Amino acid sequence: LRLGSEGGRLPRSLTEADRAPARDLVTLGEGDERITLQWRGGLPAPELDGTRATYPEALPGADVIVEATRTGFEQYVEIKKRPAEDYTYTLPLKAEGLKAKEQPDGSVLFTDGKNRKRAVMPAPVMWDSTVDELSGEHTRRVPVAMKVVERKGAVDLVITPDSGFLADPETRYPVTVDPSTSSLSNVFDTYVQQGETRDWSTDVELDFGNPGTTNANGTPRTAQSFITWNTAPIADALVSSAKLSLWNFHSANTTCAAQPWQVWSSPAATTASRWTNRPTMTAMKAESTETRGNAGCASQPDGWINANVTTLAQEWAGAKATRGHLGIRAKSETTVAQWKRVNSANAAKNPPKLTVTYNFRPRTGTKQEAGPPFFSYTGLYMVNTLTPTLRDTFV
């Protein structure tokens, strides 16, 4: 991951920015396969804070932010005050060795010369500064229009934030506009939430339970999470124990009591998974009451919560599966206290962990003997002791 450096003249208006030459903002990839997201106009020196680089006032009244994740990056435009004009900006995109194609859901899929998926940019979304105290979510969240315009050897991503949302008197600034990009790896995770139509597989968190907030039609914003693991290393192994660990940084429990959550076997989730077509969890395999991430409880600081998933890992090993899939949900999806938010595989640190203790059956021995000593008698091997020693060399 490479970030753009300072240079060029900062634009004085959106129109001037749209006409300015493009500069590299962030590049993801290596060798012959790289994605470069560019920025029209100059860039100030970035202010670095952990995994986040902020380019202040890269647009009039707005900061550009790039945040590194374990699997890619997120790129935000943070609009700090209500704009006086319709807000739209263009992100030129170069995809060396890759082909970019707009998907029906508004996302952009990157494939290589063999048409294999290499990276994905989900349809963008925007939110204001309103945060629900119980759920910890940005509750005022709307989709962002993103149009893919093909150019020779590249594409332009034309981002148009919702003008009605920006002009709404109830909108609290700053407003964040978020298109993000993630490479596809062996470990995949995502969450689905009732009322949401965006792919959340590149988000840095996984959510599950009932957050206590509702959609415009009154339905709860219940969430479930799904994880796919690379289980090839334990195929046909003898699994003696397996533990799922999730970094829990927010819980809705206000009483400091432990709240239950469950792990289920599940079909695979994909970037196309939404609440309305989510994988149907098939059987509950583990239940845990471990709860962390509760700022109001000294006994529940941010930390790991664990579940015993030995049975599930044994099933994957017995089936010689190269991929293992699981679903995570609250025990009760009507109890708000069971709402939890945990780090995803995209988080910069503390991603989900699967810890497995296993061994393999030894193969048939190569040097079987009995004794000592032994001798042949009419074609049969005999020993002259009532306490023979059996020997073999195993692999």
Q: Judge if pTM exceeds 0.85.
A: no
Nearest Cα residue to 178 out of 90, 74, 81, 86: 74
Residues 26 and 106 both lie in one domain: yes
Q: Which residue has the higher pLDDT, 386 or 208?
A: 208
Q: Where are the alpha helices (DSSP H) in the chain?
A: 14-19, 163-167, 310-318
Q: Which residue has the higher pLDDT, 198 or 227?
A: 227
Mean pLDDT for all residues in the chain: 88
Q: How far is it, in rounded angstroms, from Cα 262 to Cα 195?
A: 22
Residues 6 or more apart whose Cβ sits within 8 Å of residue 311:
285, 286
Residues 141 and 289 both lie in one domain: no
With beta carbons less than 8 A apart as the criterion, state whether 9 and 42 touch.
Answer: yes
Residue 381 has pLDDT above 80, yes or no: no
Q: How far is it, in rounded angstroms, from Cα 284 to Cα 191?
A: 18
Confidence at residue 153, expressed as pLDDT on a 0 to 100 scale: 67
Confidence at residue 79, expressed as pLDDT on a 0 to 100 scale: 92
Rounded to 10 degrees, what is the CA torsion of 173, 221, 183, 285? 150
Residues 206 and 344 both lie in one domain: yes
**Given pLDDT bands bounded at 50, 70 and 90, which one contains residue 108?**
confident
Considering 116-125, 267-276, 354-363, the range whose residues carry the highest mean pLDDT is 267-276
Residues 133 and 217 both lie in one domain: no
Residues 42 and 141 both lie in one domain: yes
Residue 134 has pLDDT above 90, yes or no: no
Q: How far is it, in rounded angstroms, from Cα 183 to Cα 226?
A: 18
Residues 144 and 66 both lie in one domain: yes
**Given pLDDT bands bounded at 50, 70 and 90, which one contains residue 181?**
low
Confidence at residue 179, expressed as pLDDT on a 0 to 100 scale: 64
CATH number of the domain enclosing 294:
2.60.120
Considering 33-42, 184-193, 198-207, the range whose residues carry the highest mean pLDDT is 198-207
Beta-bridge mates of residue 137: none
Residues 317 and 217 both lie in one domain: yes
Residues 306 and 383 both lie in one domain: no
- Measure Cα distances from 76 to 22, 65, 124, 139, 319 in Å: 17, 5, 10, 18, 43
Confidence at residue 183, expressed as pLDDT on a 0 to 100 scale: 52
Q: Which domain holds residue 196?
A: 186-361
Residues 14 and 146 both lie in one domain: yes
Give the SS3 label for residue 331.
Answer: coil
Residues 274 and 324 both lie in one domain: yes
Number of domains in the chain: 3
Q: 190-193 — which CB contacts under 8 Å span 24+ positions?
A: 190/225, 190/226, 190/269, 190/270, 190/271, 190/273, 190/344, 191/223, 191/224, 191/225, 191/226, 191/344, 192/223, 192/224, 192/226, 192/269, 192/273, 192/274, 192/275, 192/278, 193/221, 193/222, 193/223, 193/275
Average pLDDT of 204-223? 94
Q: How far is it, in rounded angstroms, from Cα 212 to Cα 228?
A: 28
Considering 62-66, 90-94, 182-186, 330-334, the range whose residues carry the highest mean pLDDT is 330-334
Radius of gyration of the chain (CA): 27
Residues 205 and 346 both lie in one domain: yes
**Given pLDDT bands bounded at 50, 70 and 90, which one contains residue 378?**
confident
What tens digit of pLDDT does each residue of 250-261 get? 999 778 899 999
Nearest Cα residue to 20 out of 85, 86, 95, 90: 90
